[in-house]
Structure 1
């Protein structure tokens, strides 16, 4: 099942009655157990080269954190939004205590902070405050905010009015990370009831397709103080300002409901999506590492074969020796790609590729045979020039054979649906023959002159 399908199924569960969600609980437990096992296998995979593991150390560290989170049964919620929208204040209001720094200047939150939500200790809900997305000269902070959101299970996007272009772009980016997003209209106490309802409707329209309508809620993390006229013992009236309690009940209940009903599934699914991306990164780096090693191997065999063919004084016999070198090269390539071939298998693969090349490029191989024969009767400089030309053709043939064999191995010892003929033809069409021959002649001539 794909990540998109899983998320659609999950969001469907969130809309179901509690009885149906209760019936789905065993599935959540099973999904979490399978995800824990999958993450452990990824972390313990001995086939991942140490260099790649070191290169992606931060990502593997996140996987370890996710594994610990799953085992603790936590649901991590990132509080996200632009500077001064009230993210830290909202986090404190949800917690019921001053856990996050709140300031009047832009950029108060410069690093991610987290604290367990007191009212959801049993549900394991954890809030993560993030830097503002519109910091001046704050590219690094914005990147941090997106990183935190990426490894969180759910995002609360905080706005204090209609969405700006930057906020809408950020909301789209967050929605693309495939985790649920709640949109909180903060400072809602500044608006009259009709104005607030109209603004909520506007937000739901602008966030259509990104946020569920039920997940757009109004909050007031730090409402304006309540003013009350009081009379002292002398009968004088005084205007007194009393702090107003935060108005976050709707958002808190929504978060707690999600944590209770789908917290484990959300955490497991998010961990699975992140692990899938990491696996793709590992695979890409392994493929790139193998490709670089294969490039070096093919070039070494091209050089060895080109020089050997150029130096061999016996007509035609050099071509037979070259075929043996091609088979040896394919044997080494199969080990590079972790699909070792036997000597007989590598020989048969070279024969298949050579047959297709002969059908496509008979004239080229005919030239090579002529050059092999001419080499035995030439003298002086002409021998050197003819040998270099023949060696260059041998070099080019090795490039073609190596690339074709590489394609066969990358596809898991398969030519694909279209067969060897099409694969070899595409290799031939994709290489710049003249450039390869020119490089080969220059290198072989340099080697021959050095030897002489």
Structure 2
């Protein structure tokens, strides 16, 4: 490092002397003030001096704590989720293909129908073995037949009208138990009905299993009145039942509204004393506490829960919509990759010296990456795309021999292709390069919503090294089709 000039060094030295003199002056002044203060405190009683020193120390500690609180890095703020607005959801649904949009549009229409009906909807969940259906029968023994069925299978959500003692009306939704249909299907039905309903009842007959815990927390995330009905509670002594209720209420505090012990009825087995024969007789249901809790909810009216219900429906539709959009986007990305891969294969078959060069065709690769970025709503500069293609070409150069070996070994699984010469190997290798690059870019964009070059190149190298038989088969078929079209065009007079 070059030393400063002589005049500048004199100036720096003078500044050092001035700063040292100023610090010394401040130190002497502070010492003089402290000694003067102590001289004035010395004649005072010891307790006065002590109180003053304690107050001075407390002031110093308080000031230090305040400075620490101001300067310390705070916890990272969670990103605020944008509120789900119906107009935006409807616009996204309208942009979907008609066959995909119908179910989501129907969900919004069902939500509107329920709001207009003015009826309170209560969904009842639980495993089939917990007595859920029996509990519905006990709550509404004179209920009207099913007024609607939501779903397309025999395991559907059935809605029945019920009148509670006192004349309050509601609609009970009988949701299939988690072991009645496949897990994913039940979860989708349960989640959708939990969103549609104003209040929820989850039926269990003891401490919850892991799957029941997940079900309860999932539907409880909507923040609606959620009653945990502890069925078959007569199996427990009073002390055991009280302990279980306290345990469940504590564990699910913030998720459920309350725990209500019930007995849904059913039958009980007795032994007749006269002849020792076993008999069964109906067991009277004990649902008074649950009815009282439901009446308290019903008295508030559906309008008290309509805002939460409507927002829950929007959140459910938004979640399903996002999953569907991701799936459709992935399908379109695969289509883009297949289109450009085929173009690369055709270009490779037209090469003058097949197998001599495996560097990516820059313009074609850049166009593919631009299409993928547009598909994922990402604006990328041409410079960044060109740089990524250049770096990907470097990966291809360093692994060219491995790529050719992988393709050559893969072609051995297709009898008779070896006679077609190196042109086919070259074309399939080009196809593998484009297919791998397109897959890597699509995977990165789907996972990070950004064109992360390092992650993309790592994924690209991985795709190149490990092509499965299905991918190679598709590339071979693509190359053979292009080769046939080329030969047919060459024979055409």
TM-score by length of 1: 0.58
In 2: Cα distance, 1:434 partner to 1:175 partner? 41
In 2: Cα distance, 1:170 partner to 1:60 partner? 30
Q: What corresponds to 1:14 in structure 2?
A: none
Q: What corresponds to 1:99 in structure 2?
A: 143
Asked if the contact 1:299/1:399 (under 8 Å) is kept, the reply is yes
SS in 2 for 1:163: coil
| Residues 431, 278 of structure 1: alpha-carbon distance in 2 compared, 3 angstrom cutoff | farther
Q: What corresponds to 1:216 in structure 2?
A: 259
Q: What corresponds to 1:49 in structure 2?
A: 97
Pick which of 316-325 and 404-413 moved more: 316-325
Q: Does residue 451 in structure 1 map to residue 486 in structure 2?
A: yes
| Residues 363, 205 of structure 1: alpha-carbon distance in 2 compared, 3 angstrom cutoff | same
Asked if the contact 1:149/1:174 (under 8 Å) is kept, the reply is no
In 2: Cα distance, 1:320 partner to 1:132 partner? 57
Q: Does residue 198 in structure 1 map to residue 239 in structure 2?
A: yes
2:387 corresponds to which of 336, 340, 352: 352
In the TM superposition, residue 50 of structure 1 has moved relative to its aligned partner by 1.9
| Residues 391, 89 of structure 1: alpha-carbon distance in 2 compared, 3 angstrom cutoff | closer
In 2: Cα distance, 1:390 partner to 1:118 partner? 80
Q: What corresponds to 1:287 in structure 2?
A: 326
Asked if the contact 2:333/2:372 (under 8 Å) is kept, the reply is yes
In 2: Cα distance, 1:63 partner to 1:359 partner? 51
In the TM superposition, residue 118 of structure 1 has moved relative to its aligned partner by 7.7
SS in 2 for 1:207: helix
Q: Does residue 427 in structure 1 map to residue 460 in structure 2?
A: yes
Q: What corresponds to 2:363 in structure 1?
A: 324
| RMSD after superposition | 5.2
Q: What corresponds to 2:423 in structure 1?
A: 387
In the TM superposition, residue 113 of structure 1 has moved relative to its aligned partner by 0.8
Asked if the contact 1:74/1:267 (under 8 Å) is kept, the reply is no
Q: What corresponds to 1:297 in structure 2?
A: 336
Q: Which structure has the bigger radius of gyration?
A: 2
In 2: Cα distance, 1:216 partner to 1:438 partner? 58
| Residues 308, 176 of structure 1: alpha-carbon distance in 2 compared, 3 angstrom cutoff | closer
In 2: Cα distance, 1:423 partner to 1:317 partner? 26
Where in structure 1 are there 5+ consecutive unaligned residues? Answer: 1-33, 102-108, 223-244, 369-381
In the TM superposition, residue 153 of structure 1 has moved relative to its aligned partner by 3.1
Asked if the contact 1:52/1:282 (under 8 Å) is kept, the reply is no
Cα shift readout 1:381-410 (whole Å, capped 9, x = no counterpart): x99734334333432332244234434654
In the TM superposition, residue 349 of structure 1 has moved relative to its aligned partner by 4.4
Q: What corresponds to 1:402 in structure 2?
A: 438
In the TM superposition, residue 164 of structure 1 has moved relative to its aligned partner by 8.0
Asked if the contact 1:76/1:126 (under 8 Å) is kept, the reply is yes
Where in structure 2 are there 5+ consecutive unaligned residues? Answer: 1-81, 146-155, 266-283, 404-417, 488-493
In 2: Cα distance, 1:405 partner to 1:132 partner? 41
Asked if the contact 1:156/1:183 (under 8 Å) is kept, the reply is yes
Cα shift readout 1:249-300 (whole Å, capped 9, x = no counterpart): 6544433444566965644334434432332322222222222222233223
Q: Does residue 177 in structure 1 map to residue 219 in structure 2?
A: yes
Asked if the contact 1:117/1:127 (under 8 Å) is kept, the reply is no
Q: What corresponds to 1:310 in structure 2?
A: 349
Asked if the contact 1:76/1:127 (under 8 Å) is kept, the reply is yes
Q: What corresponds to 1:128 in structure 2?
A: 172
In 2: Cα distance, 1:80 partner to 1:392 partner? 54
In 2: Cα distance, 1:247 partner to 1:388 partner? 77
| Residues 412, 164 of structure 1: alpha-carbon distance in 2 compared, 3 angstrom cutoff | closer
In the TM superposition, residue 201 of structure 1 has moved relative to its aligned partner by 0.7
SS in 2 for 1:182: strand
Where relative contact order (Cα < 8 A, 6+ residues apart) is larger, the structure is: 1
Asked if the contact 1:70/1:268 (under 8 Å) is kept, the reply is no
Asked if the contact 1:337/1:409 (under 8 Å) is kept, the reply is yes
| Residues 271, 437 of structure 1: alpha-carbon distance in 2 compared, 3 angstrom cutoff | same
Asked if the contact 1:219/1:251 (under 8 Å) is kept, the reply is yes
In 1: Cα distance, 2:257 partner to 2:229 partner? 11
In the TM superposition, residue 366 of structure 1 has moved relative to its aligned partner by 9.4
In the TM superposition, residue 348 of structure 1 has moved relative to its aligned partner by 3.4
Q: What corresponds to 2:206 in structure 1?
A: 163
In 2: Cα distance, 1:324 partner to 1:116 partner? 71
Cα shift readout 1:348-370 (whole Å, capped 9, x = no counterpart): 344122222234343346999xx
TM-score by length of 2: 0.54
The aligned length equals 351
Cα shift readout 1:102-138 (whole Å, capped 9, x = no counterpart): xxxxxxx9943134658586xxx62405278599xx6
| Residues 387, 433 of structure 1: alpha-carbon distance in 2 compared, 3 angstrom cutoff | farther
Cα shift readout 1:201-260 (whole Å, capped 9, x = no counterpart): 1440563424789823456889xxxxxxxxxxxxxxxxxxxxxx9986654443344456
